[in-house]
Amino acid sequence: MAFVLPRAVTERMLADLRAVEQAVRQGVRGVEELPDPADSMSFVDGSFVLEERRGCSIVLLSVYAATASHEGIRLLEGAVGSERPLLVPIVPREGARGRASALMKLLEVTAAYRALLDHEPQAVVLDGAYPSFVYPATAARVMYERLRRTLFSFDRKLGEAVCGWLTKQLTAAVSALSLNATRPFDAVGELLTTEYAFLDQMLNEVAERMPSEAEAALPVLINFAAMAFEDSAALRMLRCLLETAEERGVCICWVAKDADSRYLFVETGGGVRRPVWVTDVALLDAAWRDFSFAYADAERLGGRLGALQNPGRGAFLYHTYPRRIFEDFLTDCKGGERWCKYPVYYTKLSLRGPVLQLTTPICFASGIERVIAALRLWVESERGYPSPLVRVHHGAALSENAARLLGIHLYQRCEEQVLKAVLAPTGRYVGL
């Protein structure tokens, strides 16, 4: 059975391509415009797999970090990927995939930070996109709305008091976290130890103050606090990485193999708009189809500079970050907002290779072209993907079955009956 896109959609996609093509072909830059390549670069990628059990979720986290230079490849101690993953049981289990993603960000950023200090590269490249490491990974927004709805349905003043108190508690706990772990896994372990102690203490304090009629809010409160804690900790670690890199003159950037973002614009009869049906990288794949090498920033191609948005009001920004945590991230010691704006670059490294997207905070923009020059030299095949990025990707990749098999093993070996019930298979495996 085949499904064909409606003609109107196909025609609009082709119209977007034609509108973009002339501008992006004229704005393209070639090899002769590149500066000297960076001599050494660290590459970081991570992976996680998740298995839902009856009362918890089991997550395996993996991170792989390597520094490439003319001397060869040097691996980061404690970041050897799928050979030694980290096991993390997540309770409560609701929203576990988002929480695993937040922990994955923390792990990757910590590995990048350790590579920066231990290997002293000229640039550090992470997989993905810069804004995705800033915006929340968890479903805290949904949980926060549920929390407010549950509390406010009982007593509006109580709801406002609990949310205000929770903001202060989370801000203090996250701000007090130590960010000096010598190995990436140690950072996650220390975070989780601190987090669960914080959640347990908070639950005791809230349970004493909250009327019994409002106890239905307690599970929601704990779920939200766990999500907000983990997202906020990852954001604080990211600022530590960026500040340290800027102090040392090291470029930090992200490379995306696939990107859904749209920073380019197409001209229409009524002005300009973002492409609707097709992503930037897909449009550039088509427009640069006969180039063996190309690069340019989005502004040169008729697009715009990326910018993080401060949502402004509310105790929890993006319904996740305590206000002070997010505003501290955006604002540097001089009152500027150096992390808010980020240039977007695109590059194609071989004739048959895909267009890659690079993003970086604007303070590191001067180093991006040296990164692109180095990536070009590390392309070893027509696939157009640099070998160090291939290495860290495959080094970090985990088997989808790994968490499931571990969950079965833990359940079979567990002798404590309560824990055995928590680790039992979910109902859909038992009953279907």
Residue-wise pLDDT tens digits, 143-182: 888 888 888 888 888 888 888 888 999 999 999 888 777 7
Read off the tokens for 55: 């009362």
Instruction: Go through the chain and tell me how many residues it has.
Output: 432
User: 267 has which bridge partners?
Assistant: 272
- The Cα 359–Cα 135 span in angstroms is 14
Q: Is the pLDDT of residue 264 over 80?
A: no
User: In 10 A of CB 26, how many CB atoms?
Assistant: 11
Q: Looking up tokens 């009001």, which residue turns up?
A: 313
pLDDT digits (tens, 9 = 90+) for 37-62: 999 999 999 999 999 999 999 999 99
Q: What's the confidence (pLDDT) of residue 209?
A: 75
How many alpha carbons lie under 13 Å from residue 297 in its C-beta half-sphere? 17
- The Cα 151–Cα 274 span in angstroms is 40
Read off the tokens for 387: 């070998």
- The Cα 390–Cα 380 span in angstroms is 10
Q: Which one has a higher pLDDT value, 361 or 182?
A: 361
- The Cα 64–Cα 83 span in angstroms is 10
Q: Is the pLDDT of residue 317 over 80?
A: yes
Q: Are 364 and 252 in contact (CB under 8 A)?
A: yes
- The Cα 364–Cα 359 span in angstroms is 10
Question: Model confidence at 139, in pLDDT bands (50, 70, 90)?
Answer: confident
Please tell me which of 39-43, 218-222, 272-276, 296-300 the model is most confident about, judged by mean pLDDT.
39-43
Q: Is the pLDDT of residue 343 over 70?
A: yes
Q: Are 140 and 231 in contact (CB under 8 A)?
A: yes
Read off the tokens for 37: 């390549």
Q: Is the pLDDT of residue 268 over 60?
A: no
Q: What's the confidence (pLDDT) of residue 97?
A: 94
pTM of the model: 0.91
In sequence order, what DSSP letters do the residues of 303-364 get, joined into one string?
Answer: ---EE-----SSSEETTTEEHHHHHHHH--TTS--TTTEE-EEEEE-STTSPEEEEE--GGG
Q: What is the DSSP letter of 271?
A: E
pLDDT above 70: percentage of residues in the chain? 93
- The Cα 338–Cα 330 span in angstroms is 7
Average pLDDT over every residue of 246-251: 95
pLDDT digits (tens, 9 = 90+) for 372-422: 999 999 997 767 789 999 999 999 999 989 999 999 999 999 889 989 999
- Min mean pLDDT across 12-21, 80-89, 98-107 is at 12-21
Q: Which one has a higher pLDDT value, 152 or 358?
A: 358
Please tell me which of 117-121, 137-141, 201-205 the model is most confident about, judged by mean pLDDT.
117-121
Q: Is the pLDDT of residue 109 over 60?
A: yes
- Give 3-state DSSP helix, strand, coil % of the chain, rounded to 5: 50, 20, 30
Average pLDDT over every residue of 367-373: 97
Per-residue b or e along 195-223, where b marks 16 or more CB atoms closer than 10 Å to that residue's CB: beebbeebeeebeeebeeebeebebbbbb
- The Cα 53–Cα 425 span in angstroms is 5
Please tell me which of 109-123, 153-167, 336-350 the model is most confident about, judged by mean pLDDT.
109-123
Average pLDDT over every residue of 89-103: 93
* Angle (nearest 5°) at CA 254 between 282 and 265: 40
Q: Are 112 and 240 in contact (CB under 8 A)?
A: no
Amino acid residing at 298: A
**Mean of the per-residue pLDDT values of the chain:** 87
Q: Which one has a higher pLDDT value, 129 or 158?
A: 129
Q: Is the pLDDT of residue 272 over 80?
A: no
